[in-house]
Amino acid sequence: MPAVELPVQKWPGRIHEVTLGGNGRKKVVVGGEATLPFLHFEGAIPHRPAIAIEVHDRNPAEWAENLRQVWGSALKSPAAWAKKASELGADLIALRLSSAHPENGNTGAEAAKKNVAQVLEAVDLPVIVLGPEVAEKDNEVLMAAAEAARGQRLAIGDCMEKNYRTIAAACIANGHVAIGKTPIEINLAKQLNILISDVGVSRDAILMDPTTGALGYGLEYSYSVMERLRLAGLQGDAMTAMPMICTVGEEAWRQKEARVSEGVPTTWGQAKERAILWEGITAISLLEAGADIVVLRHPRSVELARATIDKLMAGAGQRSA
């Protein structure tokens, strides 16, 4: 009988470890993997992937009713929302400063400072601060946020190809982690990591967001780009070995399958459950492609993702299959 020799791959590279929080606040470390996701038999996976819950600095009227109900009155203030998210088991709070968007209030630096301070005050979790994704406004409010939270080691994003210099510089000056976001393309992701590094951000202070495609809406592109980035990082390419963050909730809940309950085919099934699975399957698929942080919206998805991560991390420390 032929003998089975279990293939164990030797990976020359390792994913950089990135620490968020600390300095009196809880600390979350992501990255550090020496093998592909959850293949504990092959190499160390020192940190479990983290779950961030998405919180906005304004009441998001455009959110699906299903989501709005479950968060209820917490939606009225970012501090209350963050607090509830913390209670529901978030590892991180992802505060999106959407009120700075020209069409959602166009608030500026002062509001950003205030909101960030309130969230930092309300929870002891590490915080990710995301801009409204309008380049000039991002620069304005993210700079303010970076200064307001000096030393708290936030993750701040997104650095895009157009404006990475300003935000990266603010991260260096105030001791934060920079998030670089690129549109689902492996080379562009790597190029931005290089450019951010060239500005002087150290490798342990960069996260990359390769852009999330939700289930049925480009998931396969994100999935493969992330697998490739992770493989490249493990093969020793330091400029793709950044931990990855995925804005799963935002993308999944943008889609009809998650938002709409009426006027859709009956073959889509029951709306509430479908929405949660839409977010949940997107999250698990991307975790298995290498995501280190998933940003989620629905508490049930958070619960499911947490339980799944527990099970996937269960093999940690064992060295056999």
Partner 1 sequence: MSTPSPSSKNFKVAFLPSHQEVEVPIGTTLQEAADRNGISIDLPCGGQGRCGRCRVKVEKGQVSQEDNPHLTPRQREQGWVLSCQAQVASDLVVTVPPPRERARAETSTSRAAATVRLEWPLEPAVRRATLEIPPPTLEDNTSDLERLERAAKEALGIAGLEVSLPLLRELPQALRQGEWRVTAILEGAAGDRARLVDILPGEVKGPLWGMAVDIGTTNVVVYLADMSSGHLRDSASAPNSQASCGEDVISRIIYSLRPEGLKHLQELVIQTLNELLSELAVRNGLATTEIYDMVMAGNTTMSHLFLGIPPRHIREEPYAPAATRFPPTQARELGININPNASVTCLPSVAAYVGGDITSGVVSSGLYKKKELTLFMDVGTNGEIVLGGDDWLMTDACSAGPAFEGAGIASGMRAIKGATEDVRIHSKTLEPTLKVIGDVKPLGICGSGLISALAEMRVTGVVDRAGKINLSYIREAMGKRCRAREGEHGKEFVLAWASESGTGEDIVLSEVDINNLLRAKGAIYAGITIMLRHAGVSPQDINEVLIGGSFGRHIDVEEAIQTGLLPDLPWERFKYLGNTSALGAFQALLSRQARAAIKEVAGRMTYLELIADNSFMEEFTAAAFLPHTDMDRFPSMKNLLREAS
Partner 2 sequence: MPLSGIEIYKLLPKSNCKECKFPTCLAFAMKLAQKQAELSACPYVSEEAKQALDAAARPPIRLVTVGANPKSFQVGNEVVLFRHEKTFYHPTALVVRVSDSDSADSIANRVKEATTYTVERVGHNMGLQGIAIQNKSGDKAAFARCAQQVQSLTDLPLMLMASDPGTMEAALEKAAAQKPLLYAATRDNWQPMAALAKKYQCPVAICEPGGLQPLSDLTEQVSKTGVEDIVLDPGVRDFNGSLVSLTQIRRLALKSNFRPLGYPVITFPSEAASSLEEEALLAGQQIAKYASIVVLDHFSPEMVYPLLTLRMNIYTDPQKPIQVTPGVYPFGNPKPTSPLLVTTNFSLTYFSVAGEVESSGFPSWLMVTDTEGLSVLTSWAAGKFDAPKIAKTVKEFKISEMVSHQSLILPGAVAVLRGELEEELSGWKVMVGPRDAVDIGSYLKRSWTS
Q: How many residues bind partner 1 (CB under 8 A)?
A: 12
Pairing, β 177-181 against β 17-21: unpaired
- Which of 96, 190, 230, 259 binds partner 1 (CB under 8 A)? It is 190
User: Residue 117's CB: how many other CB atoms inside 10 A?
Assistant: 14
Q: How far apart are CA 119 and CA 152, in angstroms?
A: 12
| Shortest distance (Å) from residue 195 CB to partner 1 | 6
> Nearer to partner 2 by C-beta: 21 or 37?
37
> Nearer to partner 1 by C-beta: 117 or 238?
238
Residue 237: asked if its preceding bond is cis (omega within 30°), the reply is: no
Q: Does 303 bind partner 1 (CB under 8 A)?
A: no
- Using CB under 8 A as the binding rule, the residues of this chain from 156 to 175 that contact partner 1 are 161
| Shortest distance (Å) from residue 43 CB to partner 1 | 22
Given the structure tokens 């909101």, which residue do they identify?
Answer: 115
Query: Any idea what the Cα angle at residue 295 is, between residues 292 and 296, rounded to 5°?
Result: 130
- Which of 191, 203, 218, 260 binds partner 1 (CB under 8 A)? It is 191
3-class SS string, 267-306? HHCCHHHHHHHHHHHHHHHHHHHCEEEEEECCHHHHHHHH
Q: Does 237 bind partner 1 (CB under 8 A)?
A: yes
Q: Residues 163, 180: contact at Cβ < 8 Å?
A: no
| Shortest distance (Å) from residue 161 CB to partner 2 | 13
> Nearer to partner 2 by C-beta: 75 or 154?
75
Residue 196's contacts (CB-CB under 8 Å, 6 or more residues apart) are: 159, 164, 168, 178, 180, 206
Q: Does 136 bind partner 1 (CB under 8 A)?
A: no
Contacted by 34, from partner 2, partner 1, none: CB < 5 to 8 Å by type: none
Contacted by 103, from partner 1, partner 2, none: CB < 5 to 8 Å by type: partner 2
- Which of 62, 121, 198, 220 binds partner 1 (CB under 8 A)? It is 198
Contacted by 40, from partner 1, partner 2, none: CB < 5 to 8 Å by type: partner 2
Pairing, β 155-159 against β 127-130: parallel
Q: Which of 260, 246, 165 is nearest to 209 (CA)?
A: 246
Given the structure tokens 């390792």, which residue do they identify?
Answer: 14
Beta strands (DSSP E) in 13-120 are: 17-21, 27-31, 50-56, 92-96
Which residues lie near partner 2 (CB under 8 A)? 1-7, 38-41, 62, 102-103, 133, 184, 213-221, 223-224, 227-228, 231, 251, 254-257, 259, 263, 265-271, 273-274, 276-278, 280-281, 284-285, 288, 300, 304, 307-308, 311-315, 321
Contacted by 237, from partner 2, partner 1, none: CB < 5 to 8 Å by type: partner 1
Binding site for partner 1 (CB under 8 A): 161, 185-188, 190-191, 194-195, 198, 237, 239
